[in-house]
Chain A
């Protein structure tokens, strides 16, 4: 499998008891629907067909058409209906068939859902989820990472799982949250990432980052599929004598600043890595936080490794050039370590 920006993780053999990232999302949805009758799903082709990527496969048989609603191609109506139902005390989970289409519901999300509690005291507990990210040759409209558009909107929460554990734990936490949560899953990870999940009812709390690898020389702060890229880079760097720490944000907004600060206060250098484009991205925000809050700890420039400021191209050599990968991270890390 051609997975230049992810390294070898996709070749891990499926063993008994291992849950793929996509199945972890479905398990989380199913458990919450079974636990709480207020939870329901709505979106395009999510019922009988089970969703374009099969995230909701089989759920309509289990919970019926009333709780797994196939909608017209109307992102504004999907999110708008979710807002209304949430105001009535329901817990809707709206699917964007590709997360790129979330732009069609931008007004409903940023103006209606996000501001309702502040303006009128009426909370809107809904989840909007969908496949984001590139690496599968989806072209300009099936590959984007739109998180930064929404991280500028107070009232929203944004999560992005990198592991199957987090995929399940964060969808469950998102559904239980009393505010609107955008859950950006990475389509490249759907069937490439697997792990054994513990039994029982557990969540991954929103607002908590995780240190995926400890290191002394520099911190790579990242999220989503790029966590695997960072880990692959860290392995290469280790052989060269550079000890990188990898911080997985998991929640992008509101951000777990303390975990990021603790890491950078220890390593004194930071790379901000994301698959989304560069300007105004999450990396820029982290750089601002680090500059503001732990300036005196920095022993080098804050370095971004991101996609360039272009649309996502289609052709494999173009997309490969566009996406960050382990080699690009290593190059940045070597320069930063030598600074």
Chain B
């Protein structure tokens, strides 16, 4: 099992709590109309994001999707980055150009996703390829949902990474639903991990709501990647506890299924494990929770006080050189 220090185990707990509290705040802000676009929850999936990303080290590069709030937090982005981004403020990582978790910077270890699912896999393979050519010792990791594994880009990217033996870990989060489409309508495969065999790479399934188990399997995959063992496909079995986005009441989800998974809540479960293993006390966890709440409250205030971007930014940064004016100059004939 996970070879983690007490401090690291508490760090995992704190990250999961932070993930959850940031989202709870976002729900409030969404209801107040302050999140100007959609809100994509990761409730119930926090252990998957955090357990996997925690297996990376400084210098490694992650390519998260919209439900991987925990990943960007582990990689060092702050709640204010996420809050300002959702609230479309000038202070957000994309300066108001893009929404939700669509931000990143290779220098900060995160590559921004696009909405076309699967697209990140070839791109992350390219990150790994470029790094190898530069003799950089780094591992890349990216996330995809059960729905995203049906795309051509998923196949092309994994196949290319396998042929090139690139240091890429692909985490397929099987949360049961792609918007309203259940797993059984997405694939005839029994397990997403089975798909690894087609690429000649290792595939493993893990309980995605057990953060230590997730960390373990991710750590093995990262170590393999770092020692030239090539890519790994991990299936994390978890559950999407909310709709596709905040507007979606998930009426298509069987209530009993939802209740069964609620009992497996990854955060409460981890708190119980920590207490049972005598790693920590209820008081210490409550102290961590208080610290998290204070941090998030400060960042919400920062985000609410942040200005929206000024309109002239709409025309900027299309190219490295600034383009000319958008309005044409009419050439008049001299009479």
The interface stretch among A20-28, A111-119, A331-339 is A111-119
Q: Is the CB of B129 within 8 A of A85?
A: yes
Chain B, range 315-334, C-beta contacts under 8 Å to A: 317-320, 323, 328-333
> Which residues of A sit under 8 angstroms from B130, Cβ to Cβ?
84-90
The one of A71, A76, A293 in contact with B153, judged by C-beta atoms closer than 8 angstroms, is A76
Q: Are B159 and A297 in contact (CB under 8 A)?
A: no
A155 to chain B: closest residue by CB: B318
**CB within 8 Å for A76 and B157 given contacts A117-B320, A122-B105, A154-B318:** yes
Per-residue interface assignment for chain A, residues 73 to 93, with 1 indicating a CB less than 8 Å from any chain B CB and 0 otherwise: 011111111111111111010
Residues of B within 8 A of A85 (CB): 126-127, 129-130, 133
Complex Cα gap A154–B314 (Å): 13
Q: Map CB proximity to A onto B143-160 as digits: 1 under 8 Å, 0 otherwise.
A: 000000000110011011
Using CB atoms, name the residue of chain B closest to A177: B320
User: Are A297's CB and B134's CB within 8 A?
Assistant: no
| B286 → A minimal CB distance (Å) | 38
Interchain Cβ contacts within 8 Å, total number:
163
1/0 per residue B16-30: CB within 8 Å of A?
000000000000000
B287 within 8 A of A: no
Contact B125 A77 (CB under 8 A): yes
Q: Which residue of A lies closest to B93 (CB)?
A: A120
Asked if B38 lies at the interface with its beta carbon under 8 angstroms from chain A, I say: no
Near A by CB (< 8 A), chain B positions 282-330 give 317-320, 323, 328-330
By a CB distance below 8 angstroms, the chain B residues around A108 are: 119, 122-123, 153
Number of chain B residues whose Cβ lies closer than 8 Å to a Cβ of chain A: 49
* Chain B proximity of A44: nearest CB distance (Å): 12
Q: Which residues of A contact B244 (CB under 8 A)?
A: none
B residues less than 8 Å from A87 (CB atoms): 106, 111, 123, 126-127, 130
Query: How far apart sit A67 and B160, CA to CA, in the bound complex (Å)?
Result: 16
B163 lies within 8 A of chain A by Cβ: yes
User: Of residues 101 to 137 in A, which have CB atoms within 8 Å of B's CB atoms?
Assistant: 107-108, 111-112, 115-123
- Interface mask (B73-116 → A, CB under 8 Å = 1, otherwise 0): 00000000000000000000111011000111110000110111
CA distance A241 to B331 in the complex (A): 29
Structural contact, A296 and B333, CB atoms closer than 8 A: yes
Provide the residues of chain A in CB contact with B136, threshold 8 Å: 88
Do A254 and B323 have beta carbons less than 8 Å apart? yes
Across the A-B interface, give the 8 residue pairs with the lowest CB-CB distance, nearest first: A84-B126, A80-B122, A88-B130, A85-B130, A81-B126, A178-B320, A296-B333, A77-B160
Q: CB within 8 Å of B: which residues of A?
A: 40, 66-67, 69, 71-72, 74-90, 92, 107-108, 111-112, 115-123, 154-155, 157, 177-179, 254, 261, 265, 289, 292-297
- 16 example contacts (A-B, Cβ-Cβ < 8 A) are as follows A40-B133, A72-B163, A76-B152, A76-B153, A80-B121, A81-B125, A82-B126, A84-B130, A90-B130, A107-B119, A119-B97, A123-B320, A157-B319, A178-B320, A179-B320, A292-B330
